[in-house]
Amino acid sequence: MRPLISVVIPSFNHARYIEQAIESVLTQTYPNIELIVVDDGSTDESRDVIRSTLKSAPSGRSKFVPQENSGAHAAIMRGISESTGRFIAILNSDDFFYPERLQVMSEAIGHETLALAISQVDIVDADGHALPEDSAWPRWYRGALSSIDTTPTLGFALLDQNFAVSSGNFLFTRALYDKLSGFSTHKFVHDWDFLIRSIYCAEPLFVPTPLMAYRIHPQNTTESVRSLLETEEREAVARYLELFNASRSLNPLAPHPTNWPGFYPLFLSRKNNSLGRHVAQITL
């Protein structure tokens, strides 16, 4: 039998979207999945929708965990604590997977012990339709993906631009999660913090095919906490660099002066976005 994949859906006030999110997990082509939905204190009809939708889940392969509002990072970690799979996937309650996602992503990881994979995504609107190519989010995403072609490794590209977009694009091994001691308490960048710390352990894998839809709508949680972005990015970069102060990276390709004495200063000199400035300020 193929390894069990645990899918964790952190839910908060997405009654309009949560059914599609759950259904997209239940209709995966991958045959061995467990689903844990953690509702983080929703005040809309989300919990009723979740209970109703999970009735169609295979017996013994789904779990609903309601909790008081504690934040996305806490809901994700609660779900993982309730899971048992070798692989762990996150899906935000307003996004949805394409049917072949877990099949393709798990094959990309294969038998690696410490591993994290992301895929290309489609950017969609509240109704699930693709946003116009000339609108802000698709334009940003195309620019972010271009980092793959202008840096020597995927780790450098992700340190430059978070084209993973969200934790809902992560498939990782439980061994990696345990090695990193879970997610941080950041409201905005807990996903990017986890992502870049994972690079310290293993070079990430990228599947250049859209395997999920990332939904843009007026209630996106990220929009409501955007003022915290600068502070949290700086803290995440500091946490990443602190790992190197403790010991040499497990991933010899991880971006750091000790691994890239020639290229790393050049990389910093070319950065004119906020992430690059944070890295430069802490490194100098």
* Nearest-angstrom CA–CA distance, 209 and 127: 22
Domains of the chain: total: 1
244 in a domain, yes or no?
no
Identify whether the C-beta of residue 188 lies closer than 8 Å to the C-beta of residue 275: no
* pLDDT per residue of the chain (284 residues) written in tens, 0 to 9: 799 999 999 999 999 999 999 999 999 999 999 999 999 999 999 999 999 999 988 877 999 999 999 999 999 999 999 999 999 999 999 999 999 999 999 999 999 999 999 999 999 999 999 999 999 999 999 999 998 998 999 999 998 888 999 999 999 999 999 999 999 988 888 999 999 999 999 999 999 999 999 999 876 555 555 567 778 888 888 888 888 888 889 999 999 888 999 888 888 777 655 555 555 555 54
pLDDT attached to residue 271? 64
* Nearest-angstrom CA–CA distance, 98 and 78: 25
Using alpha carbons, select from 217, 177, 192, 25 the residue that is nearest to residue 86.
177
258 in a domain, yes or no?
no
* Nearest-angstrom CA–CA distance, 252 and 259: 6
Residue 70 is encoded by which pair of tokens?
Answer: 């504690």
pLDDT attached to residue 284? 46
Owning domain of residue 102: 5-219
pLDDT attached to residue 160? 83
CATH of the domain at 121: 3.90.550.10
C-alpha torsion sign, points 226, 231, 234, 235: negative
**Polymer length of the chain:** 284
240 in a domain, yes or no?
no
pLDDT attached to residue 275? 53
Exposure letters 159-171 (e unless 16+ CB within 10 A, then b): bbbbbbbbbbbbb
282 in a domain, yes or no?
no
**DSSP symbols for the chain:** -PPPEEEEEEESS-TTTHHHHHHHHHT-S-S-EEEEEEEES-SSSHHHHHHHHHTTSPTTSEEEEEE----HHHHHHHHHHT---SEEEE--TT-EE-TTHHHHHHHHHTT-SS-EEEEEEEEE-TTSPBPPTTSHHHHHHHHHHTHHHHSSSHHHHHHH--TT-SGGG-EEEHHHHHHHTS--S-SSSHHHHHHHHHHHHS--EEEEEEEEEEE--TT-HHHHTGGGHHHHHHHHHHHHHHHHHHS--SSTTSSSTTT-TTHHHHHHHT--SHHHHHHHHHH-
203 in a domain, yes or no?
yes
196 in a domain, yes or no?
yes
* Nearest-angstrom CA–CA distance, 117 and 111: 13
